[in-house]
Chain A
Amino acid sequence: MKRNNDFRARAHPAYWAFLVHRISGLALAVFLPLHFWLLGQAIHGEAALDGILGFTDRTAFRFGEWGLVVLLALHLMGGVRLLLIEFLPWSGLRKNWIAGALGFGVAAGLAFALALIS
């Protein structure tokens, strides 16, 4: 057995970006089957789909939807950063993109929240 690192070795923005990208990716992967199942209700007719859509029209689901939009925004920008690192000439760990992704996530979250309450 070797000694492992603790949180202190991981305390830097590129690692936080990795964590956000991984956690948001896993959360979206868990959501997608539910999403497709819900859309699949349309096969059983308009009433079945409307029934399930009506069930999701409540505060807890709206909050979840807001969370999904934020996760998607963060994952999208994190993915673009990784593509830039992998495919463009080297320009560091692109921490400017990490800051940009955070800003984009916050902006998307606020815009969606505004749409929800208006």
Chain B
Amino acid sequence: MSTNLEVKVWRGREQGGFTSYKVPRRDSQTVLDVVTYIQRQLDPTLSYRFACRVGMCGSCAMTVNGVARWTCRTSVAKVAVDGKLEIAPLANLPVIKDLTTDMVEFFDKWAQAKGQFKGRHSRHDDFARVEPTSRERIAANAGIECIGCGICYASCDIVTWRPNFLGPAALNRAWTLANDVRDTRWVERLRAVAGDAGCHSCHTQGSCSERCPKRIEPTAGIAGLKRLVAKSAIRGEL
């Protein structure tokens, strides 16, 4: 193991460049540890975002050696090439400063995809009973662990090519709600995801499913939405 890592870090906004730092190599070191070392020991003006450090909050995603990753759970040993790291902000999102991106458009698209749950019962009603082995529950289960890190969105070429594309995370959210038997906005949501910016724009490149740190496969949800939209259109429901 080399004693120092050679780390290139993006500085600036969209216009900017990489600055090199030497960071001591440690056992069990994560990429977030490296960024934190630089900010605390070498250059306090470096901006980056993190919170939980244990892979729950989804705030520390960055581009590491060209691939979007959650840095708190990414071991340096796994991604460093010849003791070198290149750390940049996520692609497909505006850069606020250095490694910090503006996530507003990412979450706005969740709202555009009707990602809010709206049930028909109030707190005065009994609990809804959802059979754990039902087809809908199993389909929803496959997508509900999303932590909103934006890695799928940053990895998706369709988002680059068609900036109004809702993106894998928003469509995955729409799919989980489409399979929530308590939800009441079914038709409204299918209309929201059926347009040019929705599920039919996906080219099945699979980068979202490849890169998701939670091993969610948005490609599955997008394929499911395509089927639902087609069936509903044939039935005249849309």
Contacts and interface: CB of A to CB of B under 8 A. Distances in A.
Whether both chains belong to one complex is answered with yes
Interface of A: 1-10, 12, 14-15, 17-18, 22, 82, 85-87, 90, 92-93
B217 A85 contact: no
B67 A8 contact: yes
A9 B88 CA distance: 13
Contacts of A5: 63, 66, 91-92, 154-155, 157, 160
25 contacts: A1-B14, A2-B91, A2-B95, A3-B89, A3-B91, A5-B92, A9-B63, A9-B66, A9-B155, A9-B207, A9-B211, A10-B205, A12-B210, A14-B207, A15-B210, A18-B204, A18-B206, A82-B204, A85-B223, A86-B204, A90-B142, A90-B217, A90-B223, A93-B206, A93-B219
B105 to A, nearest CB: 10
Contacts of A22: 203
* Ranked 4 nearest A-B pairs via Cβ: A8-B66, A14-B206, A90-B220, A18-B205
A78 to B, nearest CB: 10
B94 interface: yes
Contacts, number: 83
Contacts of A8: 65-67
Interface in B15-63: 63
B209 interface: yes
Nearest to B210: A12
Given A2-B95, A4-B91, A10-B157, A15 B68 contact: no
B169 interface: no
B227 A87 contact: yes
Contacts of B211: 9
A73 to B, nearest CB: 19
Which of B89, B95, B142, B207 has the largest count of A CB atoms less than 10 A from its CB?
B207
A9 B14 contact: no
A98 to B, nearest CB: 10
- Chain B residues touching A, range: 20 to 34
Interface of B: 14, 63, 65-68, 88-95, 142, 154-155, 157, 160, 203-207, 209-211, 217, 219-220, 223-224, 226-227
Contacts of A87: 227
Nearest to B206: A14
B219 A2 contact: no
Nearest to A17: B206
B230 to A, nearest CB: 10
Nearest to A92: B217
B226 A86 contact: yes
Given A8-B65, A14-B210, A2 B14 contact: yes
B95 A85 contact: no
Contacts of A18: 203-206
B209 A14 contact: yes
A90 to B, nearest CB: 4
B227 A4 contact: no
B204 A12 contact: no
Which of A3, A10, A22 has the largest count of B CB atoms less than 10 A from its CB?
A3
Contacts of B63: 3, 5, 9
B155 A4 contact: no
Contacts of B155: 5, 9
B14 A3 contact: yes
